[in-house]
Amino acid sequence: MSASFTKSMARNIFYGGTVFFILVFLALTFDTTRALPARDHRENLTAQVAEGKEVWEKNNCIGCHTLLGEGAYFAPELGNVYERFGNNKEAIKIFIKTRPRNGVPGRRSMPQFNLSDEELEAVAEFLKYTSEIDTASWPPNIQG
Amino acid sequence: MVYQSQAVAKPYFIAAIGLFVGQVMFGLILGLQYVIGDFLFPTIPFNVARMVHTNLLIVWLLFGFMGATYYLIPEEAETELHSPRLAIITFWVFLAAGVLTILGYLMVPYATLAEATGNSLLPTMGREFLEQPTLTKIGIVVVALAFLYNVGITVLKGKKTVINTVLLLGLTGLALMFLFAFYNPSALTLDKYYWWWVVHLWVEGVWELILGAILAFVLIKVTGVDREVIEKWLYVIIAAALVTGIIGTGHHYYWIGAPEYWQWWGSIFSALEPLPFFMMTLFAFNMVNRRRRNHPNKAATLWALGTAVMAFLGAGVWGFLHTLAPVNFYTHGTQITAAHGHLAFFGAYVMIVLTIISYAAPQLLGQGEARSNRQQVLEMWSFWLMSVAMVFIVLFLTGAGILQIWLQRVSENPQPFMAVQEQIALFYWMRTVAGIVFFIGVMVFVASFLVKGREVARETPAAIEAAA
């Protein structure tokens, strides 16, 4: 680096640039926060959906699945599973309920989580809610 | 070692290496579960093994960062550490919290752990990388505060150099951003939005400050290049990192429900994110070329150069590969992400911690400036084994990812996830083989500390090397 470019110039670029872009980021965050309720259909966020999110978290579902593309890549995407299962909450509940306790020989299998009926209903509601979030048309197709 | 209190780094480095071994062992389990679906099922299901793998990584890197800080702060500030005792106490608290949490993951179902630790009072669990019980998270905050107090006071009473200022900035940012781990709103998009403030603003934000500071410290020591030059580079690199990285967070906001303007902000700024890593590579090679001494710790120099190169490849090149919104539309949430994650974490953060361990070890172990030739040769073997194996892991995962995207998302008849996984199993097998080689590399690194070497490495006078 040339000698005319001094250390204090470099320092000023660092502090000035950082502060400037933190402010830009905060402004964008402010705008996003205002835009979100319409995009994630906040009006549909019922107590049951919130409970479903807790069931989702308490059983570490993200440890195998992706949800809106984030998580582990070991099991299918679930952001659109409600649609993939034919807009059918019952199908989701039956799938979770009937996982074999000891797995399937040689194959990946979802564990049996022993969810109560209330928990099953809540997690299905949560997945339905998630499928309705405006994700800019992601995923590319129904397979997730 | 110039100051007595630098010795507190030693237990931190030992714990880091121990947990690193555990992390890689769980990586092998995960690799096998990808191809033998019922391996260890239902005793250790995939989600548990993965949680152990990623959480061990975070914990051991934090041990590494703290050890690095305790090692270099007294030397930079030119004063003893404020309280070596506090440093040892927080070491044991952090280790106990870490080990108990991992045991909790392995011994009881996750839902039971959540209940036993009172997750319902303040639900923070069950989100990727932030799976720790809320109690553990509070423990992490307490340890971080004690740690920051200890090093903060040390710097205040001593000399403030660019390196210790940048390091402290990075560490403070690390603690600050972690607080967003306690915010878990019911609205999924909002939750994800702020979850990235921990995850992205750590690894593509404040951690880069820590990385830069440690690298600059080691380069000053092993090259003897003028501090003014190195500090100027450090400022430029971290300026580029934060200027691109903060708005670069936007590349995570394309498909989670955030407004679509993030596709522009995220694409443009994150396309520039390779820049700081490219500069880091130029920096490291430039400094080593302009060296004023030939430090006898050749292994540490190799690790420092390796960090710069691998971080550029992993974080820079593999990050750019899938960061533009139109590309990311197809790659999001596939093995491409896994490939990038592995090379970026290894290149940037694993290697910088191994760099400082490599540099500090001979001094902490009372061997002088460098370990014996035999020990350094082993260390260099471990460097190449780990680096080459990781490159292959990443190439195989990238291959798997490309096929996955084609079969599941692009071809005319998109196939279901599981059907695709079976067709790309060959790549997962090859990845696992590369993983075993990586594990051997880790073992060789450990072995370099267990062998004794008779002959102590000495500095070759620069004049002799120049003549030859």
Enter the tokens of residue B294: 């030939």
Residue B468 predicted with pLDDT over 70: no
Nearest residue on chain A to B169, alpha-carbon basis: A15
8 Å CB contact of B126 and A21:
no
φ, ψ for residue A104, nearest 5 deg: -120, 125
Torsion of CA B63, B68, B70, B75, to 10 degrees: 180
Nearest to A109 among B41, B235, B265 (CB): B41
CB A109 within 8 A of CB B38: yes
The verdict on A25 and A8 lying in the same domain is yes
Q: Is there a contact between B50 and A11 if contact means CB atoms under 8 Å apart?
A: no
What's the fold here for domain B161-382?
Answer: Cytochrome C Oxidase; Chain A (1.20.210)
Identify whether the C-beta of residue A68 lies closer than 8 Å to the C-beta of residue A133. yes
Q: Residue for token digits 């952090």?
A: B94
**Does residue A34 belong to the interface with chain B, where contact is any CB pair within 8 Å?**
no
User: At B374, is the pLDDT very low, low, confident or very high (cuts 50, 70, 90)?
Assistant: very high
Q: Sign of dihedral through CA atoms B92, B98, B101, B102?
A: negative
List CB contacts (< 8 A) between A77 and chain B. Answer: 333, 417
Collect all residues of chain A within an 8 Å Cβ-Cβ radius of residue B125.
57-58, 60
Q: Are residues A114 and A127 in the same domain?
A: yes
A142 with A83, same domain: the answer is yes
> What ipTM score was computed for the predicted complex, to two decimals?
0.98
Q: Are residues A105 and A64 in the same domain?
A: yes
How many Å separate Cα A64 from the centre of its chain? 13
Is residue B52 over pLDDT 50? yes
Among A1-5, B125-129, B278-282, B398-402, name the one with the lowest average pLDDT.
A1-5
- Pair (A81, A28) in one structural domain: no
Residue B1's pLDDT is 86
DSSP lists the bridge partners of residue A66 as A71, A77
- One domain, residues A133 and A81: yes
- A49 CB near a chain B CB, below 8 Å? yes
**CA–centroid distance for B451 within its chain:** 27
pLDDT of amino acid B402: 98
A139 shares contact with chain B (CB less than 8 Å): yes
pLDDT in tens, B284-297: 999 999 999 999 99
- Quick one: B221 exposed, middle or buried, by C-beta within 10 A (0-12, 13-18, 19+)? buried
3-state secondary structure A17-78: HHHHHHHHHHHHHHHHHHHHHHHCCHHHCCHHHHHHHHHHHHCCHHHCCEECCEECCCCCEC
Measured between CA atoms, the residue of chain A closest to residue B249 is A25
Determine the Cα–Cα distance for residues B77 and B222; give it in Å rounded to an integer.
19
The reply to whether A72 and A105 lie within a common domain is yes
* Domain match, A81 and A26 both: no
Domain count of the fold of chain A: 2
**Three-point CA angle A60, B32, B20, nearest 5°:** 70
B421, B383 Cβ separation under 8 angstroms: no
Cis (ω within 30 of 0) for the bond into A139? yes
B253: distance to nearest CA of chain A, Å? 9
Structure-block tokens of residue B84: 């070596």
Residue B458 scores a pLDDT above 90: no
Strands, DSSP E only, in chain A? 66-67, 70-71
Name the DSSP letter for residue B452: -
Instruction: Establish if B326 touches chain A: CB-CB under 8 angstroms.
Output: no
Q: Give the structural domain span for A118.
A: 44-144
CB A115 within 8 A of CB A97: yes
For residue A93, the domain's CATH number is: 1.10.760.10
Q: What is the pLDDT of residues B213-259, one digit of tens each?
A: 999 999 999 999 999 999 999 999 999 999 999 999 999 999 999 99
Three-state secondary-structure class, residue B422? helix
In single-letter form, the type of residue at position B103 comes to L
Mark residue B16 as left, alpha or beta (left: phi above 0; alpha: psi -120 to 50; beta: remaining).
Answer: alpha
Would you state the structure tokens that stand for residue A47, as one six-digit string? 């107590």
Question: What residue ranges do the domains of chain B occupy?
Answer: 161-382
Smallest Cα–Cα separation from B194: which of B209, B177, B172, B206? B177
B155 in Cβ contact with B72 (< 8 Å): no
Residue numbers in B near A6 (CB within 8 A): 232
Rounded CA separation B63/B55 (Å) = 12
The stretch B145-158 carries a mean pLDDT of 98
Residues A86 and A138 both lie in one domain: yes
Cα dihedral B148, B152, B154, B156 in deg (nearest 10): 180
A13 near B CB under 8 A: yes
User: Could you tell me the pLDDT band of residue B463, with boundaries at 50, 70 and 90?
Assistant: very low
Tell me how far apart the alpha carbons of residues B326 and B253 are, in angstroms, rounded to a whole number.
Answer: 13
Is there a contact between B332 and A69 if contact means CB atoms under 8 Å apart? yes
Q: Residues 87 to 126 of B: which have CB under 8 A from any A CB?
A: 110-111, 114-115, 119-120, 123, 125-126
Would the CB atoms of A60 and B126 count as touching at under 8 Å?
yes
Distances (CA, A) of B280 to B203, B215, B219, B378: 16, 9, 11, 26
User: Shortest Cα distance from A134 to chain B (angstroms)?
Assistant: 5
What is the spatial distance between Cα A105 and Cα A103, in angstroms, rounded to a whole number? 7
Average pLDDT over residues B101-113: 98
Report pLDDT for B456.
61
The confidence band for A3, taking pLDDT boundaries of 50, 70 and 90, is: confident
Contacts of A116 in chain B (CB under 8 A): none
Mean pLDDT score of chain B: 96
Closest CA to B377 of B358, B360, B393: B358
The confidence score (pLDDT) of residue B467 equals: 45
Establish whether the linkage from the previous residue to B42 is cis, with ω within 30° of 0: yes
B300-343 residue pLDDT tens:
999 999 999 999 999 999 999 999 999 999 999 999 999 999 99
Between A68, A103, A142, which is nearest B256 by CB? A68
Indicate whether A113 and A138 sit together in one domain. Answer: yes
Are residues A35 and A48 located together in one domain of the fold?
A: no
Q: How far is B75 from chain A (nearest CA, A)?
A: 21
Contact A144, B417 (CB under 8 A): yes
Structure confidence at residue A2 as a pLDDT band (50, 70, 90): confident
Note whether B253 and B269 are within 8 A (CB). Answer: no
B391: amino acid identity, one letter: V
Q: Using an 8 Å Cβ cutoff, are B63 and B15 in contact?
A: yes
Whole-number percent of chain B with pLDDT over 70: 97
Q: Which pairing describes strands A70-71 and A66-67: parallel, antiparallel, or unpaired? A: antiparallel
- Cα separation, B453 vs B367, whole angstroms: 11
